[in-house]
Amino acid sequence: MGALSRALALLVLPAQVALGQSADLAWPEATQQSEPWTRWWWMGSAVDRENLTAELETLAAAGFGGVEVTSIYGVRGYEHAFVPYLSDRWLDLLLHAAAEARRLGMGLDMPPGSGWRLGGPSVPREDASASLHIEADTVRGVYVADARPLGDKVKRPAPGGEGYAIDPFSRLAVRHYLDAYGGRLKAIPSGTIRAFFHDSFEYTGTGSAELFEMFRRRRGYDLRRYLRFLLGEGDPDVVARVKSDYRETMDEMLLDHLLRPLTAWAHERGSRSRNQAHGSPGNLLDLYAASDIPETELFGPLGGTDSDPLISKFASSAAHVAGRGLTSAETGTWLGEHFTVTLDQLKQAVDQLFVSGVNHVIYHGTAYSPREAAWPGWLFYASTDLNPRDALWRDLPALNRYIARVQSILQSGQPDNDVLLYWPVYDNWHDTTGLRLSFAVHQPSWFHQKPVGAVARELWQAGYGFDYVSDRLLRDNVSASERRTILVPRTDHMPVETFVRLLDLARAGATVIFVERLPADVPGLAQLQERRRRLEDAKRRLTLGQADWNGVRWAVVEKGRVLVGDRVESLLCAAGVRRERIVDHPGVRVIRRTREGGHHYFISHTGSTTLEGWVPLAVSASAVAIMDPASGRTGIARLRTRKDGAAEVYLRLEPGASIILRSFDRPAAGAPWRYRRPVGAAVELRGTWSVSFLAGGPVLPASFRTDTLVSWTEREDSEAGRFAGTARYTIRFDAPGEASAYLLDLGRVAESARVRLNGEDLGILFARPFNVDLGRVRRSGNELQIEVTNLSANRIRDLDLRGVPWKVFEDINFVGLDYKPFDASGWPLQASGLLGPVRLQPLADGGGSTGPRGHAPGGTRFDGSRAPPAARQHGLPGHRDRRHGHGPELHVRRHEVLLGVQQLVPGDLFPGVGRLPPHDRAERGFGHLPALVQRLAGADARDQVGVLLHVRVRPGGLRVPAPRRGALDDRVAVRPAVRADDPLGDVRRRAVDLAAHRKHVHAVRVLEVDREVIVDVPVRGIGAPLTPAHADGLHWMRAERPVRHVDVVDVLLHDVVSRQPREVEPVPDLPLDVGPLRLPRLHPQTALVPINLGRDDVADGAVVDALHRRPVTCVVAPLCSGHDGEALLGGEIGRGDHGAHLHRIHRHRLLHEDVLARLDRRGEVSGAERRRRRE
């Protein structure tokens, strides 16, 4: 969308507002920055003014916001038209292109060099890329080293741009190069170039003439005295330390000698810098952050090692932490073979980039091609080819509008990731193998084979928003006032300065989490013992308490906390970090940003099943708007609020779809979102289709009529088999029923479609789902037109079959995905056209409503959790059934199963809980302890809430079941519980005895809080409907806020409980052993809850550990909003003195994810493996 297109959009906007669209539902105005850009290859710089203007006008009309001019090798036969790089004529053509781009509302970037690798004819050999050469005389023990030029040249240079690649580690070499290049740009006015771009790091040098001096200054010792260790000789620990120091020095030279000077040089010219740091041997986060626009790349097919979203996040993390507004991405490089990449694939690629934090797409790319060039025109050797000659160009503007809408959202506001994940780069640098260590996109083992990679995957899969952070960014860019959660994976080598900085941030209010343990050692060699001593001193000053039963150790440090534990999700739950549970639905990914007055979500669904249901958000909201960037449709969503204050929005998201949510902290104005509500079965549209070919080549096939939708390549018309372009399918039909509206589902489309009904344009469908709302249709005489555009693959196949010489490019010429000479002659014909089946799905209420009813065939209801295979195998209920308290459930956390059982007390106990005293709402003091509550993270209508309540038992008395009374004997004190508003008096000492200095200790931890619910098993026949509790609204304390002696976390008794929704049944949970599977023969034993603790620093383990250690227990009654459930799992409950144990069943070497529960340590259920073998 160029300036003309944007102007037309502005003319339409007032009409939309006049028709009722509110400002709350309006899309931001498209800008050149929000629209996608493309790398514009000038092949041989054989360009002229007329064609430059024509190409820019074509790009602007297609919705491009800008171009990056990159001059490269030429085209054979056009040598007479080559323009020498940086010549006066070349600069004049550049100025013309910049002026035309400005006229069209577009921007223009360029690299300070042709091809890639900075360099060219101005670079003398002494400034060229160099290697560290070491000669060894092992007999005399003499080692000599120097930097020797490698002879590396600029890669894929333009005519006139050939020459040596510079030494990127040399301050003098970079200065000489930029001075010379800048001298040639004196005729270019300041600000003409938006940004100067430095491509991916492909320099191969390992040394520099300045290395030894810089090493001595920065590391404090002479590297020349340790050359044998660089060769890998000697003590392996010393080898690793010397190599780490060498790699750190090269990193600093790259940062201080190349990237920071390049950014400053760009600023001197009124421009910005754009940099791809990947592939370099330096700390990627710092190198990305040194530029104004960090840029990643999505290289290779989706799902491959070269297109990993966790690697893309390095660039966006640097941008987020360093405060850069844009993260760009080289997009679509080798996404597929030439001429086979679809718009749907491109959408999937950009969606992955969006959820990775990218908000500035730059296609790779578009080759300048003069009008007289025969089809397919001039092409760059690597796909994806986006040029006006390609058949898909016709519908590319729809994808570009989609990108512009999404990027207008993602470029606004601020990132809202809760976790900073520390990247321990020194653990990479402490590697005894090799010398140079590069952090490449294409070989990311440097990341995935380290603990940080495993932690990042766990965060990504669980829906935690996070950014990576480096030592330098922690020091320079993380403010103490932010109070962030900083997660440190298992780290072997951490600078003592970084560890001290982490503790300083904790003292200022941050939560710092160490996985497994504190850092073990310091990196490098110089002053090793002194630095080790300082690290150990800092660690000793940190006093960690004993581990709770979740394995988490705590230390309160002034305003913040330090946590240490083995399990990431338990640590994050203990820290109160929120997650987006929508990612539990397969294929769904999300990114969240803050904005003034609310948040923005971008949600992408690449899975195979429809998501439909109430979706919890991690934020609170008074209203939420749904915005469809593909169609531009918007509306106010159905919304409800969970008891923890967070919002739930009703969504229906089909595979392939993406949406934006805009939340408000106030009521929002606007029309309601029109949910699709299918009613009845879809009806296939049958009849005779008229097919005519509209545009494309090499020639238009003959029109035809058909009753069956198949690929047009199956026709006997030989022209159809080699045609690339657009065909129009027309059919007339009558409404198949009395529905008020219909959804048109096109079935399979190869590859994009424009839909028109009764002369009205309904939009361009360029990606899944290929369906569109028809609205109301006539009872009879409807005319449906579908214009389908295919790929150019069949046409290029025809050229190669006939031996047409179209691959006429210099240098690498034209290669395939395997980097071998491209040849499409052996390809099969690609399916083309409308393949169907085309169906009409009746909809209720004019195509949608604000109601959540209706469910698409094949869709799945969102329940926020996936029942483990074990539960499904044994017929145990899924998560949704827990709203009625039905039976046991196994909960799987990765490769670990937790099994517990909870039991209710006899049903003749009728508890009542009074209101909290009015004065107790703000500060719930120890003297009026209303309850000891452990709230499950993100508890909602599908969660059982574990709670240990002190309640008063109303008349009716206490009755311990006779068959088990003897088991209690003198070990149990049966006593009335206290009301919530009763002073505890002397009960206080028996109820809990917590050390006053434990400011942030959880009072009692009954359940796991990281969505591993220890199973609640209410027992049938011993309960009765109980009096509902009174509620005091939404007054509660957050766990992070200490109150006098003890934290009282979220008060359970909400209005939603008091009104008996029959969705949440809080009960006292007690993990007990479960015996063999059989029906119980004895009356179940009452639950035993301790009221006296053995130690004052083990409150977290009170319920779990105290029963077998302390004799004093008390019978308490549950608080139920409805009725007690029934048991589906029988077993004999163990005695209280040994029953409070929880078995953890770790990963089985055969079962993998399907590991099942081990009951009472007596065997394993291995049905999953048997099923696997049968399959």
Task: Say if 466 falls within a structural domain.
Answer: yes
pLDDT tens digit string along 292-338? 999 999 988 888 777 899 999 999 999 999 999 999 999 999 999 99
Among the candidates 529, 549, 574, a domain finishes at: 574
Radius of gyration of the chain (CA): 34
Q: Are residues 398 and 425 in the same domain?
A: no
How far apart CA 605 and CA 1143 sit, in angstroms, is 37
Q: Does 1169 fall in a domain?
A: no
C-alpha to C-alpha distance for 895 and 557, rounded to whole angstroms: 33
DSSP annotation of 869:
H
1089, pLDDT greater than 50 = no
pLDDT tens digit string along 1019-1038? 222 222 222 223 232 222 22
* 1042 or 729: which leads in pLDDT: 729
- Among 6-15, 100-109, 187-196, the minimum mean pLDDT is found in 6-15
For residues 912 and 1007, membership in a common domain is answered with yes
- pLDDT tens, 757-795? 999 999 999 999 999 999 889 999 999 999 999 999 999
Does residue 592 sit in the same domain as residue 689? no
pTM: 0.76
**Last residue of a domain, which of 574, 606, 628?**
574
Residue at token pair 């004190």 = 973
Rounded Cα gap, residues 358 and 350, in angstroms: 9
Q: Tell me, yes or no, whether 667 lies in a domain.
A: yes
pLDDT at 580: 97
Give residue 6's pLDDT band: very low, low, confident or very high (50, 70, 90).
low
- The whole-number pLDDT of residue 1108 equals 31
User: What's residue 305's pLDDT?
Assistant: 73
Q: How many CB atoms lie within 10 A of CB 389?
A: 18
CA dist list (Å): 304 to 336, 354, 390, 442: 11, 18, 26, 9
Q: Is the pLDDT of residue 17 over 80?
A: no
Pair (1125, 980) in one structural domain: yes
- Give the mean pLDDT of 873-877: 28
| CATH code, domain carrying 756 | 2.60.120.260
- 875 burial via Cβ count (<10 Å: 0-12, 13-18, 19+): exposed
Residue 56, pLDDT above cutoff 70: yes
Window from 86-95, 336-345, 479-488, 491-500 with minimum mean pLDDT: 479-488
Whether 205 maps to a domain, the answer reads: no
Query: Is the confidence at residue 372, as pLDDT, over 70?
Result: yes
The answer to whether residue 881 scores a pLDDT higher than 90 is no
Average pLDDT on 563-591 reads: 96
Sign of dihedral through CA atoms 526, 528, 534, 538? positive
610 and 568 housed in the same domain = no
Same domain? 702 vs 771? yes
Domain span holding position 625: 581-675
548 in the same domain as 481: yes
Q: What is the mean pLDDT of the chain?
A: 77
Does residue 567 contact residue 458 with C-beta atoms inside 8 Å?
no
Q: What percent of the chain has pLDDT over 90?
A: 66
Residue type, 1087: A
Strand order across the 760-765 sheet:
704-706, 689-697, 724-733, 782-789, 752-757, 760-765
Residue 255 lies in a domain: no
Beta strands 511-515 and 485-488, pairing class: parallel
| Residue at 188 is within a domain | no
* Total structural domains within the chain: 5
Q: Are 889 and 876 in contact (CB under 8 A)?
A: yes
- Is the pLDDT reported for residue 961 higher than 80? no
At 1150-1167, the pLDDT tens digits run 323 222 222 222 223 333
Q: When comparing pLDDT for 1166 and 228, which is higher?
A: 228
Residue recorded with tokens 């709350």 = 24
Domain boundary among 675, 692, 717: 675
Clarify whether residues 991 and 1136 are in a common domain: yes
What percent of the chain clears pLDDT 70, i.e. is strictly above it?
A: 70
Residues in the chain: 1175
CATH number of the domain where residue 629 is located: 2.60.40.1180
Handedness of CA 112, 113, 115, 118 (dihedral sign): negative
Note whether 240 and 247 are within 8 A (CB). no
402 and 519: one domain? Answer: no
The verdict on residue 269 lying in a domain is no
For β-strands 833-836 and 748-750, DSSP reports them as: antiparallel
Q: What is the mean pLDDT of residues 539-562?
A: 91
| Span 897-940, pLDDT tens digits | 332 323 332 322 222 233 333 333 333 332 232 332 322 222 22
pLDDT of 575 > 60? The answer is yes
Cα separation, 292 vs 1169, whole angstroms: 53
- Torsion angles phi and psi, residue 1097, rounded to 5: -125, 20
941 and 1074 together in one domain = yes
Mean pLDDT of all residues in 848-868: 45
For the segment 154-181, the average pLDDT, to the nearest whole number, is 98
406 assigned to some structural domain: yes
Split at pLDDT 50, 70, 90, the class of 578 is very high
Neighbours of 340 (CB within 10 A): 19
The answer, yes or no, to whether residue 34 has pLDDT greater than 90, is yes
Taking the C-alpha atoms of residue 1068 and residue 80, their distance in angstroms, rounded to an integer, is 86
Query: What pLDDT score was predicted for residue 214?
Result: 98
Q: How far is Cα 310 from Cα 450, in angstroms, rounded to an integer?
A: 13
| 122-131: pLDDT as tens digits | 999 999 999 9
Query: Same structural domain for residues 562 and 585?
Result: no
Asked whether the beta carbons of 440 and 41 are under 8 A apart, the reply is: no
Q: Are residues 695 and 615 in the same domain?
A: no
Residue 899's DSSP bridge partners are 1143
Quote the pLDDT of residue 627. 98
